[in-house]
Each structure stands twice: as C-alpha cells, then as structure tokens.
A and B are shown apart, each in its own frame.
Chain A
Amino acid sequence: MDETASYPPIEPSNFDLIVIGTGLPESILASAASATGKNVLHLDPNPFYGTLYSSLPLNELTSFLRSQSQPLTPENDESTPQLLTLPLYSSIEINSLSLEPIENSRKLNLDLSGPRVLLCSDSMIDLILKTGINQYMEFKSVDASFVGDAEGNLGSVPDSRSAIFKDRSLSLTEKNQLMKLFKLVQGHIGKESGEDDLISEEDLESPFVEFLNKFGLSQKLKSIILYAIVLADHDQDNLENCKDVINTKSGIDHLALYHSSIGRFPNANGPMIYPIYGQGELPQAFCRRAAVKGCIYKNGLDSFNETFETPFGLGLDVRFVVFKKLRCDLGWVLRMPVAALLMDKDGLTYKGVKLVSGQELFSNQLILAPCFMIPSRLTPAAQVANSYDVGRRDAKEKVARGICIAKSSVKPEAANCLVFFPPKSLYPEQKTTVRVLQLSGNVAACPSGMFVTYLSAMCDNAVEGKKLLDAAISALFSLPICGNSENNGIEKLSEHTDSKPILLWSALYIQELTMFQDSFNSISFTPLPDEHLHYNYLLDATEKLYQKIYPNEEFLTQTNLPEEPVDDDSSELD
C-alpha cells in the first residue's frame, strides 16, 4: 500500500452518497443516484472494476479469491470501526493439470460469479437499453443449450418451434406435446384482458411440476422444461423436501420470458446472450454512465475531465488503458482503499469514511459492497440477514462455483453453450441442478482455441458442493488418472478419453449466499452475487435497496446519454 501517498486529496469532502465497491449493484445504484442529481463519490479499493462481479485474468482471479477468503484481523480502534473483508469464499481449490502453464493467461477474462448470461427479454437487458449503456458493450449469443448426464451425453434442449422440429431425439408425440405447451403459454401470456383464462387460477397456484404432469409430458421433457428452461435449482419431483417449489404461474412466466427472448434481436439466434469481455463489462458500463451523469465529475475535480475526453472503445487494449488509468486514480471511479468508517459518538450513527490516505470524507448515505464487513459490536442475535439478498433461501445454503479451462469444446458444434445437469442426472443423491456455461474466444473470454467453462450448483456445504461440481466436471472432461495431484500430470489420462476435452486448469470455490451484518440506518450493503443464471433477482433486490435509500426518487428512468465517440457501433442491441 505504498502507492497511497500518491493519492491526491479529494475535494470537496461532503457527499450525498459514498459507494464503495464497483460490483453490479453498487454501480447501478451509483448510476441511479447520480442520474437524479445526487452528489456521489464512487470508490473501489481494487485496481479493477466489478468487485464481486468482475472478469479477471487468471492470476488476478486466484489472488482475489484468496484475498476474499479470510478475514483480516481487526485493529483495535474503538472510535473508527475498521472496514474489513468478509470471508465470502471458502474451500478454494485450484488445480493446474497441465505441465505447461496456461498460455496467454493474461488474455483470459474469467468471471468471478459465473456462470451467468442475459436473457434477451429480461429486466437487465431492458435496463441496459433504457439507460443507453448498450453503446458501451457488445454481446454474442449463446449458441445452444444441452441437458447432460453422468456419462457426458449432451442432449439438445428443444426450446423453440424450429428446435422441436429439428430435434431427432424427441418422439413425434413429445414434439406435439411440447409445442402444445409452448403455444398454451404464449396464448396465456398474450391473451387480452377479459378473455377466458387458458389456465385456471387453481392451476396457476399449484406446483409447476404437477401442471406438467397433467399435460402428460414425459420425464425427459419435464426435466428439460424445469431445469434447462425454467432454470429450477432444486429437485421439483420431490415436492416435500424441495426447498423452492416453482409454482405454475412463475414457471409459465419464465417460459414466456424465455420465448420472448428468442428472436428479440436479429443477430441473436438463441434466447441468451453474453457480453464480450465478460460479465465485468456490465458494472463498468454502469460506472461509466454514472460518471457521465455526474457522479464524481460534478464534484468539480478538474483532473477527471481528461478522462472523459478520451475516446473509449470496447477493444481489449483500450480497456487495459483504462485500467492503467484507474491505477493512477483516474477513471470513472476513484481507486481508493477505505480504511475505516467514521461514526458518531454513540458509535451507532454513520458519518463518513476515512481513506487510507488519511483523508476523511462525509456523506449522508453509504453503500458498501457485500465483501466488506464492519466489526460487530452487537450480539449475534441482533444481526440480521441482509434483507436485500434474494429471499426464499435457506440460511445455510451456499453456491459452489467452478471454472475450467480446456482446449476443445464440450460439444464440438457449439462454441458458446449452456449445459444443465438436472437433479439425479449425475448421481442418485444429486439434489440440485449443476449449470455449466462454456465460452470461447469469440466472446473474448479466452484466446481463440481455448474454452472457459463455468459451473455452479446450490449446496448446503462445501463437501456437497464439490461433489456436485466434480461429478459434472468428470462428465464433461477427461481428467488425469491421479485426480488433483499437480506433479504427475497429463500423460496418464484415463482410458476413455474419447472426444471429451482434456481439463487443463480448474478452480472450485464455495461462495456464501447470505450475510449477517449489523444494521445501520445510513449504511446499506448491496446483494451478494446470487445462484441464478441471470440477473433478474439481483436487479429486483438492487431496485428495492435504492427505493429504501431514496423512497421518493425514480430508479433509472429512460434517459438519453450524451453521444460519446464510440468507435464500434456494431453492438447487437441496436
């Protein structure tokens, strides 16, 4: 932290809102607040955008994971509570299975909270279009979805009319039933008010799986709909023990969302898209918008003007330029580690923050990324789960995430694809879905010729989580015989290598889904990255948080950004 000395002092020192962290919720909130004329200071101690939502080169990723896995010992200072790191990640397990180091590892953009995609009609895309930040980003469509089993057989997901027609694995009756269901859903969603309901109220409240049973769908089709389209996490067939039973209404809403996503953008051939250069682009785009709308800039720091005149493209190199700028304090966010919080004499009312440079800054509100922690002075009983995390979830539930790198695709004809392992598909006791997203060089997740695969699954503990991910990995990849040992390498591959890609590198880690924090009136924590494949729930939670802080302000209304020089307008979201 020797750079701290070079940080110039920030003036003025009073703000309406200080946001620490540049994760997606923090960036959206900063953007929303600055759009309504609030004085916002956006700080991030890290040299990159995104905090828990960032996309990082391989080494940065591993060191960030490790840095967020153990709490720092608090220094004793009663008046100024230290801002600590919450241990969000545990059981980090990094395996390098290749004798040679991963080439071009700097060219990898690995998502911290993958797998994650955007549905073309979801609320996140709507927000992106509404705020105009699509001009800062480019997307590629996810080519295909598959349902996998323990042997690694990947069956396609017939999710549209033409996909049903093409699918050779479906029987004629299945084709007929599936399309009938899709039509019913479209009819139900598209019906005019006053028309007869196509699906009874009673059915809408009943579990979706029962509705599908009534429809006479085969086990295979039910599984495809529940886990690959409606994206259920928990085993819906086991209604008594299921932690999250999806009812017909939400099942149908999700099916409708999925279908309206197909064909929304002419260049996207499936329902899902992925941002080129990774999910980390999203928070960065919101930060940029916040800056344009006056966050920081309004504070009259002349030195920032320079940044906004720099033409900014979406090319990789340009972004690194920005990163460099960030490192020397300039960007749309101030790179500034915060040392401590300033509290009132009673120790319960927030006043401001103290930077590592020693400068004290004051604000009415503080928003913190969930990876920070304020040393607790309350009894554990008084601690509450962060109410803006997505609810419905068991407190001890966690999400197991994995990242794999290989040199060939899990499905030769698809570069960017999703794979779903529904409950019981990998082994009989499998309780939750394992979701897999493979990305290729054409979304700049990695150099071309390489494939990055993200996995995630809900679990109650690290053992279960690792078991889930390991099962999925061994279904998809060829592994060296001697498991995870790092030295007796690649030559001894298992006999049935067939055409499966050889796993070169993997990282597995368990991420918390629920935080317990002291509640302060003026300090808010943003939600943790959730277990879902898309951002819908996260966005809902973020909006709720915003409305709690600013009950009378609108959340990101339709606004036109000033035209900025954008060198590449081939964005798919025209």
Chain B
Amino acid sequence: MHGRPRKAPTQEEQEASSLKAVKLRELQSQLLNFHRNKIYTKEAVDISTKLLESNPEHYTGWNYRKLSVQNLLESALDSDSVQSILDEELRLVENALKQNFKSYGAWHHRKWILSKGHSSTDKELRLLGKFQKLDARNFHAWNYRRFITALKEIPDEKELQYTTDMIYDNFSNYSAWHNRSVLLSHLMEAREGHSGKENVLGEEFEFVRSALFTDPDDQSGWFYHLWLLYQTLKREPLLITSWPSTGSNIQLSVNGYLDGQSLLPVLHFQSKARKYPIILCFNEAVEGVCSSTVTVECEYHAGDDLIWTPLSANKLDFAQAWLTYLNFPDEVNSLKPYSVKITVAHVPGITSLSGAPCSTTHTSFTVCVPLHDLKHAELQTMERISWKEEKFRACATQPQDANLLHSLGNFKITVENKPSASDWSMETIFTEIAHCRELLSATDCKIGKLTLARLLMAHNTLISYSRPNDGAEIHYDEILALYRDLMKMDPKHLCYYEDEYSLALLKQLTSNTESLLKYSYEYQESTSPSMKSSLCLRLNGLSLSRLGSMECLLWVQMLDLSHNKLRSVEGLEALQLLSYLNLSNNKICSFTALEPIRMLKALQVLDVSYNEIGAHSVDSSRYLCSSPMNHAVGNDWNFEEFANGGIKLNDHWDAFLVFKDLNLIQLEIMGNPVVNDQLKAFLFKIMPELKWLDGEKCN
C-alpha cells in the first residue's frame, strides 16, 4: 500500500477516465440543481447515490445526502422505516469506500449516520477488519475504529490487545503504535499513582525494544520509543532558576561600580531607575504567573501589586521566563541588606501547556540599595564598546571572579515535595541508554544514534534536577560526538542536528562554574579613568546555530555570540540584564529574526554586523512575526511619525518593529545587504539616543 510508484495511465485508461468525467459532470450538475432547490425525491436521491458511489470525494454530495436523510427522517412513520433509511446510507458509504477507502467525506458520513442512534457496531467492526486487512496503516480506518470503540464502549484493554496483534503481524505499522499510545494514555490516567504508570511504561519499553533490535532501520518503533521517553520524563513544571539567584547578595549601584569592601561575593547591578527586575525561569513554558500565584515577601514592599510579564517571542500566555520589577521607594536608601523571599505556591494557577500544575518552590536573596544619587547617574558617560580580542582578559586565573561566578551559578532552588518518580525515571533512562549502546555496537543506525543522544540529554537533565555531585556520570562529550557523527551521516537533516548540537553544547558550558569560567572574560575600558571593568561571557566561534540554557545565564550583562551559525536568537529575551550584545558574523537573515531582542530593555550596545539580513528575498520568519499586517503589534504602532524622508512602511516595518523600543547607544549593522544610507538615517531617527552607528559617531 505504501511506497509503490504510480504508473502512467495508458491511452485506454485516459479515454475511460475522460468518459467517466463527462458522466460525473452530468451527475454533478444535476445534484447541485437538486441541492439548490431542496429537492429530495427518490429520483434525486438516486442521482446522488450514483455520484457518490463513483466519486466519494464530492463533499457537497455528502452534505446534500445529510439534508435528504433529515428530510426523510422527518416524514418517517415508524422505527422500521427509520432503520431502512439509515441502512441505505450505510450501504452507500460502504460502496463509496470500496471506490476509495481514504475518502474523508464517506467516513464522516458514516459517523454521522451512527450518531443518529443507528447502532450496528458489530457490523462496523467487521467492516473495519476488512479495511484494515486491505491496508493495516490506513489512518481513516483507525480513526473510525476509535470512534466505534468509544461508541460501543469497548474496553481500552481489549483494543490494546488488538494493537498488539496488529503490531505482531507487522511492526512497521505507525497507526497501530499510535493507537497504542492513545489507549495507554487513557489507561495510565485511569490507573492512579506512579506505580501503574511505571509498570505500563516498563512493559512498553520492553515490547518496543524487540522491534528496535529486530529492525533498527524501521522508524515506526523509534517513534513509539520517543513517545515512551516523553512519558518517562513527563513531570510537573518546576521553577528552576531565578534572578537574583537564591541566596545571592545584590548591591544596587547606579553606575555598575562599587568598591568591593564587602566580604561576601556581591553582585553589582546597574540601574538608572529605582527598580530592579526579578526573573523566574521554569523548566518549560507555563502560564498563570501573577501576583496571586507568586508571593513576594519584602520588608519594604507589599509585593501584591506586581505585574508579571511573560518573556516569550511567540506564545502569548505561555513563557519559560517571567519578569517583574521591584520598586524602591525613595526613603529606602541605606546599605542595609533587605531580604526578599519569593514563593511559587502549589495551587492551581501556574500550569504547563499540558495542564500540569507547578510544584511549590522558594527562592530568596538580599538587596542593598545605595543612596539615591541621580546626579551621579547622569554624569555617566559611555565610550564606544569594542569587541576586539585585546579588550578581554580571561577570568580563569582570577580567584575572585571564580567566587563571583560561583555565587552566580548557584542556581539551586528548593523544591518542596520532591517528586518520587525521579528515581524510577533515572533507572529507566539508564536501562534505555545501555540497550541503545548495545544496539549501536552491532548496528550503525542514524535514528539509534539520535535516540542515544536524546537519552543522554534526558539523563543529564534528570541529574540537574537532583542533588549535585551524586556521582552520576555526565555525558556531554558523547552527545556532541553523536551529533557530529549524525551531521556527517545524514546531511539532509543537518540543520536539526546543528540545533541539537548547540543546545547540548550550551548545556555543557553552563552546567557548572568551572566550565563557565573558561568562557568568562573581563572587559577593560582602557581609556576610562576609573578602570571600570565588566564581566563578559564570550561564546564566540562555537558553531552555535540556536540558543538554549538561558535560564543559567540570567546574570549576564555582556555577551559575545559572534562567529557562530545563529539563525535565530530565540531565548535571549530572558536575559533582562543584558546591556552589551555581539551577534556579528552569524546567519541571521532578517530583522524579524531579532524580535526577541525587543524585550531587552537594558540593551545599549548591539552588534549585528556581517549577518545575512536582506540577503534572502524570501523571509519566512517575517510572516510568523507580529507585524502591522496581522494587527498583532498593538496600539503603539506609530510608524507614520517617522515615515518621511522616503522611508516606506513596506520596506522597513521590520527594522522599525525591532528597534523602536530599544534605547541603543551603539549599533553595528554593516556587512548586511539591507544596509544603505536611507536605512541608517531611519535608524538614527527612531533611536534618538544612538551615539554610534557602524563606528561613526553621531552628533
């Protein structure tokens, strides 16, 4: 049934089909006429029968048929005549399906008839048996089967056995595996508690393992395996990191610089306004973060009027990271540390996409607020930031930096009621990893390697949830090697493997302080009289094509991502402290791809030079992005204010969208095909604070 080439029709077949078309056209026009005039006579209905039996794809025909059945039923006198009307419809559908058993209209009509209370489900099951023998993978038949079994209230266990039989017959049956996953989802829901789920999943892993070992090149089993893996890892959403991080000591400063008298490692945060951001990062996108689900306890702040904003470029109500600002009243201006405690309550409220509620978690930190010194802030000047190598000094040799990073990297957040399932999950993943390695030692198979990489990744994620240093092995190098292999073996899916490689690499880099330290540098403003220095994370030249693990980098203020393969910067929106960002020499091909940057209110310096903005005439992301065309932008679309000097909305709305809300001081944009003098002038206009554009000082 599958993978069979279609033969070119012979002369005779072509003639026959054009003859059939003539007949069909005749029938069709007759039917449409009846339909229009609401004629449901026997003769009219017979015409529709003829049409639908030879062309079951005629949807209007089926609709006409439904109207005529309703019409007939109204005048039906007794149950026998109702029965015969409906029987006639079932017979018609059966004939139509003989013509084409993949006709949506015909299957739907059959469901509609059965929903009229006409129940002959045994016959339906027999009919299904025939269709599934003809093509065991036919998803129409499987869909209908689910409909019938629900109607007949056939127990899921019995249907599960049916899928087992079908899989035994031929395990390359995607539909059977899929139905199995549907049935098991129901069964696991019905069986309360973890142990039921654990037993079911354990048996299923064993069942599918036979298929994987028998024919590793067959993908159907692997897809089912992937589903099982998701079920194993499935858990309630969790608050994993926050800014400020748990236990940290924050000293606010207006110029980002404070004499380090404090004995404790101190985080300096530069803020012009008397407010600072709080960011909560969850392990998956959640909704419902608000002042009633998150309690903020603070000595000088009630915390109940906080507004939480989702940090997400696409999903409106769901986000992995959420942002709010804590304000300091003017009277708070001592160096006394204020402690802040945040509690995410286990109440229905914060839920994941799948509807699972979040567990209760706490995070707390202290804040020191300096004297209110607005004058000092205004005096601050900025010289042009240069990303040149000589400006950076590696941190690895500086013990104080290591301490600082250590406090930054202390992400652990207390989770109450630690889920008991994790031991079992870990064990299951261990077993699957061992089997996957065994299989790969005998067979070189792409999807096996991909699965092993996914399993190892899952294993690492599970470890990161549990206590540190519990002896479990971390496998990042193996994962990266697997993806490098896959890129060579399967160049068709290169982009996917590059993305996965990037995610794994970032996870590795951010997994502990020591590795982060290797990528941390001190930026020195040579000319500054104060010898001001900033901590810069330099993830340049790592072949990254996608960003991840941003929840571990919430503290980053200066980030170098140049010389990678980034096509998108999704994830950066969580880095609310980011002030300096280098994205030069990547593969960003449109302004719309920079949309996440819109949310970075602290961003002052941006380098997007030598990308591919404007290089591709077709930009698919442009149509996914909110734009004036889809009215998703909101009321603040004031493009017209800037639309003079020959700037057209059509050409530059995307640049306007990204830059209008940014307060950039410095922008590098050269080396992109889109750049011209007109655009530069436009950019100056929409960003009045811009001082440097492509190295030129603006007046």
Q: A161-B214, A172-B213 are in contact. Are A177 and B442 (CB under 8 A)?
A: yes
Smallest CB gap from A171: residue in B: B213
Q: Is the interface of B mostly helix, strand, loop or mixed?
A: helix
| B442 & A175 in contact (Cβ 8 Å cutoff) | no
Please, what's the 1-or-0 string for B351-391, where 1 marks a CB less than 8 Å from any CB in chain A?
00000000000000000000000000000000000000000
A173 contact set on B, CB distance < 8 A: 213, 438, 442
Task: Check B514 for interface membership: any CB of A closer than 8 A.
Answer: no
B210 contact set on A, CB distance < 8 A: 165-166, 172, 175
Q: Which of B169, B209, B442 contacts A162 (CB 8 A)?
A: B169
| A165 & B168 in contact (Cβ 8 Å cutoff) | yes
| A176 & B170 in contact (Cβ 8 Å cutoff) | no
Number of B residues near A (Cβ < 8 Å) is 16
| B216 & A176 in contact (Cβ 8 Å cutoff) | yes
User: When chains A and B are docked, how far (Å) is the Cα of A435 from the Cα of B97?
Assistant: 47
Smallest CB gap from B218: residue in A: A161
Interface residues of B in 409-455 (CB under 8 A from A): 435, 438-439, 442-443
Task: Check A84 for interface membership: any CB of B closer than 8 A.
Answer: no
User: When chains A and B are docked, how far (Å) is the Cα of A453 from the Cα of B420?
Assistant: 58
B171 contact set on A, CB distance < 8 A: 161-162, 165
Q: A172-B435, A175-B210 are in contact. Are A161 and B442 (CB under 8 A)?
A: no
Task: Check B211 for interface membership: any CB of A closer than 8 A.
Answer: yes
Task: Check B661 for interface membership: any CB of A closer than 8 A.
Answer: no
User: When chains A and B are docked, how far (Å) is the Cα of A162 from the Cα of B169?
Assistant: 6
A176 contact set on B, CB distance < 8 A: 213-214, 216, 439, 442-443
| A161 & B215 in contact (Cβ 8 Å cutoff) | yes
A-B pairs with beta carbons under 8 Å apart, 20 shown? A161-B170, A162-B168, A162-B169, A164-B214, A165-B211, A166-B210, A172-B209, A172-B210, A172-B439, A175-B210, A175-B213, A175-B214, A176-B213, A176-B216, A176-B442, A176-B443, A179-B214, A179-B215, A180-B442, A180-B443
A162 contact set on B, CB distance < 8 A: 168-171
User: When chains A and B are docked, how far (Å) is the Cα of A66 from the Cα of B425?
Assistant: 71
User: When chains A and B are docked, how far (Å) is the Cα of A89 from the Cα of B440?
Assistant: 56
> How far does the Cβ of B30 sit from chain A's closest Cβ, in whole Å?
40
Please, what's the 1-or-0 string for B206-234, where 1 marks a CB less than 8 Å from any CB in chain A?
00011101111000000000000000000
Please, what's the 1-or-0 string for A139-164, where 1 marks a CB less than 8 Å from any CB in chain B?
00000000000000000000001101
Q: Which 8 A-B pairs rank lowest in CB-CB distance, beginning with the nearest? A: A172-B213, A175-B213, A176-B213, A175-B214, A165-B214, A164-B214, A179-B214, A176-B442
User: When chains A and B are docked, how far (Å) is the Cα of A360 from the Cα of B429?
Assistant: 87
> How far does the Cβ of A173 sit from chain B's closest Cβ, in whole Å?
6
A175 contact set on B, CB distance < 8 A: 210, 213-214
User: When chains A and B are docked, how far (Å) is the Cα of A176 from the Cα of B442?
Assistant: 8
B214 contact set on A, CB distance < 8 A: 161, 164-165, 175-176, 179
A177 contact set on B, CB distance < 8 A: 442
Please, what's the 1-or-0 string for B460-490, where 1 marks a CB less than 8 Å from any CB in chain A?
0000000000000000000000000000000
B211 contact set on A, CB distance < 8 A: 165
Number of A residues near B (Cβ < 8 Å) is 12
User: When chains A and B are docked, how far (Å) is the Cα of A162 from the Cα of B165?
Assistant: 11
Smallest CB gap from A166: residue in B: B168
Smallest CB gap from A266: residue in B: B133
Interface residues of A in 21-53 (CB under 8 A from B): none
Smallest CB gap from B170: residue in A: A162
B168 contact set on A, CB distance < 8 A: 162, 165-166
> How far does the Cβ of A448 sit from chain B's closest Cβ, in whole Å?
26
A180 contact set on B, CB distance < 8 A: 442-443
> How far does the Cβ of B452 sit from chain A's closest Cβ, in whole Å?
15
> How far does the Cβ of B289 sit from chain A's closest Cβ, in whole Å?
46
User: When chains A and B are docked, how far (Å) is the Cα of A173 from the Cα of B437?
Assistant: 12
User: When chains A and B are docked, how far (Å) is the Cα of A161 from the Cα of B439?
Assistant: 17
Interface residues of B in 155-182 (CB under 8 A from A): 168-171
> How far does the Cβ of A378 sit from chain B's closest Cβ, in whole Å?
60
> How far does the Cβ of B328 sit from chain A's closest Cβ, in whole Å?
63
User: When chains A and B are docked, how far (Å) is the Cα of A172 from the Cα of B438?
Assistant: 9
> How far does the Cβ of A202 sit from chain B's closest Cβ, in whole Å?
24
> How far does the Cβ of A141 sit from chain B's closest Cβ, in whole Å?
15
Smallest CB gap from A158: residue in B: B214
Smallest CB gap from B439: residue in A: A176
Interface residues of A in 253-272 (CB under 8 A from B): none
User: When chains A and B are docked, how far (Å) is the Cα of A166 from the Cα of B166?
Assistant: 12
> How far does the Cβ of B118 sit from chain A's closest Cβ, in whole Å?
33
> How far does the Cβ of B302 sit from chain A's closest Cβ, in whole Å?
61
User: When chains A and B are docked, how far (Å) is the Cα of A177 from the Cα of B213?
Assistant: 9
A165 contact set on B, CB distance < 8 A: 168, 171, 210-211, 214-215
User: When chains A and B are docked, how far (Å) is the Cα of A148 from the Cα of B443?
Assistant: 31
Interface residues of A in 185-244 (CB under 8 A from B): none
> How far does the Cβ of A187 sit from chain B's closest Cβ, in whole Å?
12
Pick the most buried of B211, B214, B439: most chain A CB atoms within 10 A of its CB.
B214
B435 contact set on A, CB distance < 8 A: 172
> How far does the Cβ of A171 sit from chain B's closest Cβ, in whole Å?
9
A166 contact set on B, CB distance < 8 A: 168, 210
Pick the most buried of B169, B170, B213, B443: most chain A CB atoms within 10 A of its CB.
B213
> How far does the Cβ of A216 sit from chain B's closest Cβ, in whole Å?
9
Given A165-B171, A172-B210, 9 more contacts at CB 8 Å?
A: A161-B170, A161-B171, A162-B171, A165-B215, A172-B435, A173-B442, A175-B213, A179-B213, A179-B215
User: When chains A and B are docked, how far (Å) is the Cα of A336 from the Cα of B213?
Assistant: 62
